[in-house]
Structure formats: C-alpha cells, structure tokens
Amino acid sequence: MPSTADPGWWKTPEETSRTILPPETWIRIFELATIVPWALETETRDPFGVSAPLMPREERDALNRSFVTKRALVLVCKQWWKLSLPFLYEIVTAHCQEGLSRLYRTLIESSDPADVVEARLINVRRIHCTLDPEESFYYNWTNLAKIIQNSPNLVIFNIHARGHATRSRYEMSWRMVAALKLRSGTLRVLDWDLKNVTGMEGKYERRLLAHLPNLRILHVSGDKPWLFFFPQPSELTPVSMPYLVSTSWARQGCSSHLTVVDELPSLHSLEIAERINPNMNGLPPTNICSSITSLTLHGQDMPWDPNDYGLQCAYKALPNITQLVLWMYTWENFPFAASLPPGIEKLGLGGQERKPSKNSVYKQLFENLYTIKASGLRVVRFIGGGDWSLLPQRSPKVLLRLQELAPTRSFRVARGGPEREAVG
C-alpha cells in the first residue's frame, strides 16, 4: 500500500530565524505611537509653524488618547515596561483634586522601590492640572508643590480652571511659589488660567517672575483683586526675562504684571484673552507693543467687527504685527469684507465650537473669506483640529467651493493640525 506521508517527515525541521529589533528601535516605535504634536514644545506658539498648537480641549483629548496607548504598551510585558519608562511619565496630568491625589501617590508616596520612583520623577517634563472651581477651598496646593519640587527636569507647567467659581479664594499657596522658583533652571513654559478661582498678589507674582529668567512662554490669566493697590512702575524693581518670546494680556491688562521697566528683548508674540478695552489699560506698555509681530485674539463669541474701536486702537499701538490669529466661537462670526492693516501677511482662523457646523455655514465662510480687504495678506490658515480636519472627508463638495474661489485672490489658504495641507 503506497504511503501518503511526507517523505521528509523524519527530518528535523529548520529553525525559523526571527529578526530581533534593538531597544532603540522599540523606543522610537513607542514614541511615534504615543506622540502628541506640540505637547512638549517650549520655544514657540507659532500657529504657522510645522506643528501648530491645539486648543486646550483638543490637546487634552489627544493627551488622554496617548495615555491609553502608553498604558497598553507597559502591560504587554516587563521588558516593554522598562523600555517605556523614559517617556511614560514625560507628561503627567492631575484632573481636579482626585487626580492630584492619585498623582501624588504615584510620584511621592509610592510604595515602589526608591529607584523606580526616582526614575519617574526624573522623566517628568510637563505637569498639566485641571482645577474644579468648587474644589478651590480644599485643593491641596501643598501636594502639588511637592510634585513640582521633586521634578528636577520640569519644563512646562499648566493649570487651568474648568470655569468660574461661585466663591473666590484669592490665595495661591506660598509653597507653590517656592516650588516654581526651585525649577528656575529648567522651566520654560508657565501657563495658568485660573479665572476668578484663585490667584496671587501682584508683588509676589513679580518676585516669582524675577526668579524665572529662562521662561520662553508666559500665559497668566485670572482676576486680580489687588488691581487698585498695584505700585507704579517707577516703584518696581525691573524684571529681566531675556528669552521670553510669548506672553498673554487679559483682565484689564494686569494678567502678568509686566511693566514698562521690565527687560524683554526677545518678546514678539502677544495673546489677548478678551475684548480689548483701551480705556481700562487693555493694552501692554509701549516697550512690549513696539516689539510685537504676532497678535492672537481669543473669545470672539460675537461677530468679529474689524472696525471695533478697541481693535483699531490695538492695531495702532502694535504697528509691527505681521501675523493675526482669531479664535471664534463659531464660523458664522467671520464677517463680510473684513479689513485688515496692510502689514498683516498671515491670518490664522480657529473655531472653538466642538460640533461641526452646517455645510451652509462653511460655504458662507469661504465666500466671506475671499472678500477680505488685506493688501499684504499671503496666507490664511485654519488652525487647530476640530471640525476643519474632518471636512474634506465629510463634505468634499463644500471644500470644492473654496478651491474654486482660490484663483480670485493672491493669498493661499491652508488647513492646520498635524496634517498641514494647502487647500486653495
């Protein structure tokens, strides 16, 4: 009876060779799988750069997705856990008081071996905190200060309030100020938006800034109850911040307490968080205005009026601006035949509304965009992710109208986000 067996069944099977990737390659793969564009940027907030900054909510969502991926990687095996450790704690978040307590237990009161805890703290480069206004009276500033004190390579510190408080607590723990001073050698970005939840007296804030000469980006907004007691510039000791490139101005111009006596040779970017009121010190001093080339306006929750008196005063006070960025609540707020100063070369447009707009809104936006009056305009860029990044897939016919209008004007239109692309 003939055999149906493989004639070579008795031979020893050849071993399958497997390519083993070096640890450096795995680490690079992990980084690419979890990267959040701009999340560790410390030198610029330029929306026309290679990687433009996202809206806070968009960045928060991107960070949360990155954390989920990181958690999945470290649970695969012990070897992957060891490889992932250097970037696992690069960015840490504390969502309200409960999140701060968890972060404190992980980084300060952990029962893990001391060398493991130390490795976590050494790798922390950014701390991002969210504060619930109703928790302001028992928020543990001391624990947050300890985390900052023990993070020797911290370069970015963010803290944002989720809304306005029904009862304000105008007090910032002195331990927080002392902790931030300890990070003067490494800290590059200081960003807090605490609205009316809490704050610190202007004199203490200036003392803090005097100890942070390496800051590149300073964004501070929040009510200042001591506004009328702030000393005159002639009574102040100058603050020297030679590397500062971007700062904010809000709450009647007292958001950061920078004055005409301060030395800010590198400053060129300014963000204003609310409607400009020139009669309430709504514009920075002359030494800041004269160096500004990029202006960002937030809070455009009403139709943008290019002829607004406050805006015209800003243009006059800022004669050297070449970039203008507008964040609007809805695309319907972009007007017909808007007029810009002749020096504006780049216009950035960002939408704050979470849900996509109707196709008719986009069409009207494109029609209005090509009626703009700006003799020096070279590029218009839609910045942030949001609904704009999904528009080409969701409504290609709407986008086609923008491409049809493009030849009628000399400026170029591009969309932002990580996948920056020209569309008109």
- The set of residues, in sequence order, having a beta carbon less than 8 Å from that of 306 and lying 6+ positions away, is 335, 338, 339, 340
pLDDT at position 11 is 59
Q: Give the Cα separation of 216 and 260 in Å (integer).
A: 19
**Do the beta carbons of residue 263 and residue 256 sit within 8 Å?**
no
Nearest alpha-carbon partner for 200 in 116, 256, 264? 256
Determine the Cα–Cα distance for residues 251 and 274; give it in Å rounded to an integer.
8
pLDDT at residue 244, rounded to an integer:
94
Dihedrals phi, psi of 184, to nearest 5 degrees: -60, -30
Q: What is the residue-wise DSSP string for 371-406? A: T-B-TT--EEEE-SSTTGGGHHHH-HHHHHHHHHHG
pLDDT at site 77: 87
Token pair recorded at residue 29: 């793969």
H/E segment holding residue 271: strand 269-272
Q: What is the pLDDT of residue 420?
A: 47
pLDDT at position 227 is: 45
Q: In a 10 Å sphere around its CB, with 0-12 CB exposed, 13-18 middle and 19+ buried, how is residue 15 labelled?
A: exposed
Query: Distance (Å, rounded) from C-alpha 136 to C-alpha 323?
Result: 37
**Res 419: pLDDT:** 44
Distance CA 289, CA 270 (A): 9
In the block, residue with structure tokens 């390519």: 19
What are the two backbone dihedrals, phi and then psi, of residue 170, each rounded to the nearest 5 degrees? -80, 75
User: Do the beta carbons of residue 164 and residue 132 sit within 8 Å?
Assistant: no
Residue-level pLDDT, tens digit, the chain, 424 residues:
555 555 555 556 666 666 688 888 888 888 888 888 888 888 887 888 766 667 777 788 888 899 899 888 888 888 888 888 888 899 999 999 999 999 999 999 998 899 889 989 999 999 999 888 888 778 888 999 999 999 999 999 998 887 776 665 555 667 888 899 999 999 999 988 777 666 666 667 778 888 999 999 998 765 554 444 456 666 778 889 999 999 887 654 444 567 788 899 999 998 887 667 666 556 778 778 889 999 988 765 556 676 777 788 888 888 999 999 988 878 888 888 888 888 999 998 887 776 777 878 888 888 888 888 888 899 988 886 656 666 777 777 777 777 777 777 788 887 654 444 555 5
How distant is the alpha carbon of residue 211 from its chain centre? 23
Q: Which two tokens stand for residue 160?
A: 């944002």
Distant-in-sequence, close-in-space partners of 394: CB < 8 Å, separation ≥ 6: 356
In the chain, the amino acid numbered 375 is: S
Please report, for residues 34, 71, 89, 180, the alpha-carbon distance to residue 86 in angstroms, rounded to integers and kept in the order given: 13, 13, 7, 23
Name the CA radius of gyration of the chain, rounded.
26
**Which of helix, strand or coil describes residue 298?**
strand
